[in-house]
Structure 1
Amino acid sequence: MTTTLHDGTPASAATPIRTNAIARAAQRLESAIQWSTELLAVCLMVAEVSLLLTNVVFRYALHDPLVWGDELASLLFIWLAMIGAVIALQRGEHMRLTTFVARMAPGARALCNTLTDVITVAFVLLLIGPAWEYAQEEWAITTPALGIPNTFRVMSIVVGAALMLAIAALRLTERAAPRDAAKSIAIVAGLAAVLYFARPLLAALGTFNLVLFLVIGVATLVAIGVPIMVAFGLSTLAYLASATQAPLLIVVSRMDEGMSGIILLAVPLFVLLGALIEAMGMARAMIRFLASLIGHVRGGLSYVLVGAMYLVSGISGSKVADMAAVAPALFPEMKNRGEDEGELVSMLAASGAMSETIPPSLVLITIGSVTGVSIAALFTGGFMPAVIGALAMVAVIFMKSRRQSLEGVRKATPKEIGRALTFALPAVILPFVIRAAVVEGVATATEVSAIGVAYTFIVGTLVYREFDWKRLYPILVEAASLSGAILIIIGCATAMAWALTQSGFSAHVAHLMTALGGGKTGFLIVSAIAFVLLGSFLEGIPAIVLFGPLLFPVARALGVHEVHYAMVVIFSMGLGLFAPPIGVGYYAACAIGKVDPDRAMKRIWPYLGALIVALVVIAAFPWLSIGFL
């Protein structure tokens, strides 16, 4: 089985927790780290939201922007990213591929899980030294507005790496069998020795080292279940140390650059916004309104599922969160109407793939951050491709539901529809307000996410009144964890992308893509196939950070509009993300629906086939993506 964020299982969970005195002491220390980091993360989340809202008030209401506001927000942001990454490691919520590990025998699986922990220890050990050196160098640089050394910001990487080292080491102490730990340490030490003594030979291999370290190395680490951020970061560090003369602090500086973009501050805020929308009952209000409109027709609730995913998609920053908000509100009644559980999960997964381009998708924000494409243009261009995907889904649902029995289903009266609309209206308008504010330039993506959080909090507590205040602290921790897991991947992938670019790999890719023939059409076809495969393994954000800076310039050179290309790429990645047997989103949908993946697998193909047709239409008609720019 393939898992992604929120699998909730530590990497070494296959091995029972040991109960000797040393292990108990390790557990107490890990609990202390957990408590302190979670409290710090909550404080940082609250501070970021408060600071951004204050900036908005001063900029738009008082016309007196805080010149130091963005600077302080950026400083707090990278601390939030690193502390969130620490929490994600402790909770087992970093993106990782477990398809192959899950099929191993229990003994081999335990050894493999221990090996991933040792590899994580090796990565953070290699990272701490360059991070400390980089922090020292940054002392001479002071921030323009606050006038403080940049070291205060960069120390977040040092502290985060140290805490991750502690957690990974404690995990080994608590869970790893001594024999597995000894074998794993021997394997890692042996590989390190081989790389050290083989440096003269590796230096003579030239660009083949890219294939060895950044293709074979990354693929191997991902296949054995190493967190993707570790696979990217460790492979890049090993490449620079073994095959080049470049200092390792470059990796830290690239990580810093990748995680420090102020536009990425929208990531934790949109994650928090999505969690609040679900917790406040606003998502359920939207779904009830849609169900009152068309729930009485054949396939009505299936259409509601597609419509609900269109409304809530992109706001949370996590497809898992989107699906988790929709499924519990619809699945019980759909089962009562005789829908097969496998069919429901198939629709849910395909709807997740369909809605990948809907703003304010974090993939769109990431593309804008790493390629320089206008965020407003991407938000505008994302609507119609999703409409085409939704229509493809609707066509399949229509064909499948022609013989559905509606016995006992009652049509809602106009009064009931009006009452549902009145109740849902504050929730329904939020996604449109958020998207319109960014598209029309009223506020940046970061600012509007803070406004959305404040709006949701106020409306949820005053209008819907379903919020359990005990959930606030866990929601803030979860938002920090998910954000940290995403952002550190962006940081490590940025470092890896730098290595690929500096080595001339981008030039080779550009030459290869242009030499394939077929002009724009051939390039789009190859890109679509490549990103379907990448989406299966890497998900959208790491794939975009790695390959966006390489391929978008090629698209421009061939005359492909960058917004059109972005939509083709994102839709393709969505297909890969939710396509079995590898796609991580597919298994997340099965977990949410509590359905055996094998039961749903045979039913998802008509929906994915329809989405492939939609992808062809989106690629063939650029107007669908750029017609409203």
Structure 2
Amino acid sequence: MILIALVILAAVLLLVLGFEMFLVLGVPALMIKEFFYGNLPDPVLAQKILGGINHTTLLAIPFFILAAELMGAGQIASRLTGLVKTMIGHLRGGMGYTTIGGSMAFGSVSGSAPATVAAMARMVYPELRKAGFSDRFSLGLIVSSAETALLIPPSITFIIYGWMTGTSVAKLFVGGLAVGLVLGVAFAVMAAIEARRSGVERAPRTSWRERLVAIRQSGWALGMPFIILGGIYSGYFTPTEAAAVSVIYAILVEGLVFRELTWRKLFDVTERAAISTAIIFILLAMGSLLSYFITLAQVPTAITNFLEAIHAGPVMFLLIVNVCFLIAGMFIDPNSALLILVPPLFPVAMALGIDPVHFGMVVTLNISIGMITPPFGLDIFVASSTLSKPVMTIISGLWPFIIANLIVLAIITYVPDISTFLPRLVFG
């Protein structure tokens, strides 16, 4: 218990003092080594840091990040959103549905919530306001809808969770599809209620001719999710191979078909993707070191013994997991929350008989909520920067969506079949 208290105290202190997250993860690990495992050779630390990120599954992360940057800078994202608008934009509140569907479509080829916010905000915000939605609701809907990018495959969060726990990434992708759709439906219900409350008018219905034209114009854009998801689910690609193919496809389509990708733009996009990748991998390296010491100190066993002492079963444990992740999501970035909390909690979940895919859905949905939760939700600041809107204005529009998220989280937590039905159906 002294070790647990030391780790928590050191991490909180560094976080409050404003240190970078890789230090918040790394310094407590080094303190544990120095004070409790001083005879451990220093080369072991280097082996754990480098070995922690030396995994083929993680190769998918830089590829998906680069693919997302390419699509956000080109035409693929806007054409996917345009197709969704053509199909459902005529419904009452149709622009709200378009925002949700467009975010899910972009998420299905990027796996990144911040990238989805940045790509979607400029496209749909003026249209939402023009349709009659309030400023606050429009901002809340844009930021919240981007959450689905962490649940609709290919999700970078699922890749990291699968790497940490040994869970099949393909099964996580399939399970995330169902959970993402449930969350999308919840947001659609909110959009429908707001449309009626605000008197949002119906847009003119597009003709079938216009829809066919939109399908033809977005054909190359539709090829991206078809290649990624179809390739993975058919077993033709691994997630890592699908990520590499998505980059090649995005470069060819944006450069040769849409002619949006210049050499200068390709350089800028690659630079941004490299920086994002470096940040994530530094966190993963430090997180793997902290995870090693957590396991060495038998922290999961201590947690299991505590739960047994208070006679807590799976229901109480999952409630504790939700509370821990929701609190962590308010203050630290999602990858850091994943790296800190999953190593001690996952073995306990397995000991209690919780399905690893179901646990992954609960964890990822919690992380999704953390992306939009004040005071430090990352997507809030991305939207503020993209649209030049005050942070407090965005936060005021998010509260109804946070409540909706918590309701969906409770359903996903205690109805595990939502998470596990499709993986069982697809993989047996």
For normalisation by structure 2, the TM-score amounts to 0.93
Q: Is structure 2 residue 331 aligned with structure 1 residue 537?
A: yes
Matched, 1:438 2:232: yes
Where does structure 1 lack aligned partners over 5 or more consecutive residues? 1-206
2:267 counterpart (448, 473, 480): 473
- The aligned runs of 1:299-310 (5 Å cut-off) are 299-310=93-104
Match of 1:594 among 371, 388, 410: 388
- Residue equivalent to 2:299: 505
Which residue of structure 2 lines up, in the alignment, with residue 218 of structure 1?
11
Distance 2:310 2:173 in 1: 31
Mapped to 1, the partners of 2:275 and 2:303 lie a distance apart of 34
SS in 2 for 1:264: helix
Secondary structure (helix, strand or coil) at the match of 1:627 reads helix
Deviation at 1:341, TM superposition (A): 2.8
Q: What amino acid sits opposite 1:490 in the alignment?
A: L
For residues 220-369 of structure 1, the aligned pairs below 5 Å read 220-245=13-38, 246-313=40-107, 315-369=109-163
Residue 352 of structure 1 and its aligned partner are, at CA, apart by 2.5
One-letter amino acid of the structure 1 residue matched with residue 99 of structure 2 = L
CA change 1:508–1:464 in 2 (3 A) is same
CA contact (8 A) 1:323 1:352 kept: yes
Paired with 2:352 and 2:32, the residues of 1 have a C-alpha distance of 32
Task: Decide which of 559, 565, 570 is 2:359's aligned counterpart.
Answer: 565
Contact 2:90 2:203 in 1 (8 A): yes
Question: Which stretch shows the higher mean deviation, 482-491 or 408-417?
Answer: 408-417
CA contact (8 A) 2:300 2:347 kept: no
Counterparts of 1:471 and 1:273 in 2: how far apart (Å)?
13
Q: Does 1:554 align with 2:348?
A: yes
Aligned counterparts of 1:618 and 1:301: Cα–Cα separation in 2: 27
Letter in 2 for 1:215: I
Q: Contact 2:121–2:383 at 8 Å: present in 1 too?
A: no
Q: Please state whether the residue corresponding to 1:378 is helix, strand or coil.
A: helix
Residue 394 in 1 paired to residue 188 in 2? yes
Moved more, 581-590 or 470-479: 581-590
Work out the CA distance in 1 between the residues paired with 2:290 and 2:11.
10
Aligned-pair identity in percent equals 27
Taking a change above 3 Å as real, the CA distance of residues 491 and 370 of structure 1, as seen in their structure-2 partners, is same
Measured at CA, do residues 435 and 515 of structure 1 come closer, stay the same or move farther in structure 2, by a change above 3 Å? farther
Query: 1:465 Cα deviation (Å)?
Result: 2.1
Cα distance in 2 between the residues matched to 1:404 and 1:453: 42
Question: Could you tell me how far apart the structure 2 residues matched to 1:354 and 1:472 are?
Answer: 27
Decide whether the 8 Å contact of 2:228 with 2:243 is kept in 1.
yes
Counterpart CA distance in 2 for 1:348 and 1:474 is 25
1:536-583, CA deviations, whole angstroms, 9 ceiling, x for partnerless residues? 333332222333232222212212111011101111121122112332
Whether the 8 Å contact between 2:178 and 2:422 is mirrored in structure 1 is: no
Q: Measure how far apart 1:314 and its partner are.
A: 5.8
Counterpart contact for 1:349–1:578, Cα < 8 Å: yes
Q: Is the 8 A contact 2:112 2:150 kept in 1?
A: no
In structure 2, which of residues 283, 286, 293 is the aligned counterpart of residue 492 of structure 1? 286
Instruction: Report the more deviating stretch, 280-289 or 214-223.
Output: 214-223
- What is the CA-CA distance between 1:407 and the residue it aligns to? 6.1
Aligned residue identity for 2:17: I
Tell me how far apart the structure 1 counterparts of residues 119 and 268 of structure 2 sit (CA, whole Å).
Answer: 17
Distance in 2 between residues matched to 1:432 and 1:413, nearest whole Å: 25
8 Å Cα contact 2:107/2:148 also seen in 1: no
Tell whether the 8 Å contact from 1:345 to 1:595 is kept in structure 2 after alignment.
Answer: no
User: How far apart, in 1, do the equivalents of 2:200 and 2:332 lie?
Assistant: 42
- Alpha-carbon shift at residue 515 of structure 1 (Å): 4.0
Matched letter for residue 370 of structure 1: M
Measured in 2, the distance between the counterparts of 1:469 and 1:345 equals: 34
Cα deviation digits, residues 56-76 of structure 1 (max 9, x gap) = xxxxxxxxxxxxxxxxxxxxx
How far, CA to CA, are the matches of 1:588 and 1:293 in structure 2?
28
* 1:481 Cα offset (Å): 0.8
Q: Tell me the distance in 2 between the aligned counterparts of 1:449 and 1:603.
A: 34
Q: Report what 1:52 is aligned to.
A: none
The one-letter amino acid of 2:68's match is G
Q: Deviations over 1:148-172 (max 9, x none)?
A: xxxxxxxxxxxxxxxxxxxxxxxxx
Instruction: Look at both structures and tell me which one has the larger radius of gyration over its CA atoms.
Output: 1
3-state SS of 2:218 partner: helix
The question of whether the paired residues in 1 share the 8 Å contact of 2:255 and 2:262 is answered with: no
In structure 2, how many angstroms separate the alpha carbons of the residues matched to 1:276 and 1:513? Answer: 47
Query: 1:510 touches 1:554 (CA, 8 Å); kept in 2?
Result: yes
> 1:112-131 to 2 correspondence within 5 Å?
none
Aligned to 1:617: 411
Q: Given the alignment of the two structures, is residue 452 of structure 1 paired with residue 246 of structure 2, yes or no?
A: yes
Q: CA deviation at 1:331?
A: 1.2
Shifted more, 353-362 versus 278-287: the winner is: 353-362
Count of residues in Structure 1 that have an aligned counterpart in Structure 2: 422
1:439 and 1:589 map into 2 onto residues whose CA distance is 33
Q: TM-score, normalized by length of structure 1?
A: 0.64
Cα RMSD, aligned residues only: 2.0
Separation in structure 1 between the aligned mates of residue 325 and residue 199 of structure 2, nearest angstrom: 40
Q: Partners in 2 of 1:274 and 1:395 — Cα distance?
A: 28
How far, CA to CA, are the matches of 1:612 and 1:355 in structure 2? 18
DSSP-derived class of the 1:628 partner: helix
1:43-100: CA deviation from partner (whole Å, max 9, x where unpaired): xxxxxxxxxxxxxxxxxxxxxxxxxxxxxxxxxxxxxxxxxxxxxxxxxxxxxxxxxx
Write out per-residue CA displacement over residues 493-528 of structure 1, whole angstroms, 9 at most, x where no aligned residue. Answer: 110111111122221122234444442211221112
- The alpha-carbon deviation at position 615 of structure 1 amounts to 1.2
Is contact 2:80–2:218 with CA below 8 Å preserved after alignment? yes
Q: CA deviation at 1:411?
A: 2.7
Which amino acid in the other structure matches residue 502 of structure 1?
Answer: L
In structure 2, the CA distance between the partners of 1:515 and 1:326, relative to structure 1 (3 Å rule), is farther
Structure 1 residue 375 corresponds to structure 2 residue 169: yes
Q: CA–CA distance in 1 between the matches of 2:309 and 2:315? A: 13
Q: Which residue identity is paired with 1:216?
A: L
